[in-house]
Amino acid sequence: MCCVGFSQFDGLISYFRSCSEAETSKVVIILQRLENPLTKPLTKLLLHFLSFVLLSMGKFNCLFQKSTQNTTCQLYTEMSRLVRLYASNVLKPESITAVGEDLSKLSFASANQLADKNLGLGDSTWAALSEMEEEFDTKPFYRAVRDFYVASLNKMLKKFPSQDMYKSATGDDKPRDRGGFGMRFVR
């Protein structure tokens, strides 16, 4: 799963630039409008970042779509794993371990967040960032990454079943193989 074929990104930009101004078809006008945002360094960095971060979400989504074959324990475990993975990309380890099993108590306060140089961005994002760091202000990029992680985590914590909901579904405090999740547990 990849947002953009980065090996073809420069070719895409060239294509947009090559459209002659004399051509007035709707497609050409749309392509020319796309050229400006795509040539901004922040856009390329964000696409690298999204390729990295959405890979784990795609894997989870595939598992979730096959949920009729999975047990409550497996889904709860995978949901917790995804939340912990995203949290570990933006929060200090001690902030995550402090909440124990109850991930709904995660705090996204600035004091609990990792320094910019420690954020989970993916190798290709770090490589692209190192090439561009001198050319432009990276603060908006880091802010966008933090905003993405916090918004994603808040959404997951709101939509995924809580530990209490797991307990009421299974009658158990600890995840074990106890049968399937009904769809009512995913809001």
Q: How many domains does the chain have?
A: 2
pLDDT in tens, 31-63: 555 555 555 778 888 888 988 988 888 888 787
24, 51: one domain: no
Same domain, 68 and 149: yes
Q: What is the pTM of this model?
A: 0.68
Is 11:27 a contact under the CB 8 Å cutoff? no
Phi, psi values for residue 113, rounded to 5°:
-90, 150
Helices 72-88 and 139-159 sit at what angle, rounded to 10 degrees?
A: 160
Token pair 């050409």 in the structure block, residue: 28
Instruction: Quote the CA–CA distance of 77 and 171 in Å, as a whole number.
Output: 16
For the stretch 151-182, pLDDT in tens is 999 998 888 766 554 454 455 555 444 444 33
Give residue 183's pLDDT band: very low, low, confident or very high (50, 70, 90).
very low
Number of H helices, E strands in the chain: 8, 0
Whether residues 6 and 96 share a domain: the answer is no
Domain that holds residue 2: 1-38
One domain for residues 33 and 44: no
Q: Give yes or no: residues 30 and 57 share one domain.
A: no
- 93-100 mean pLDDT: 94
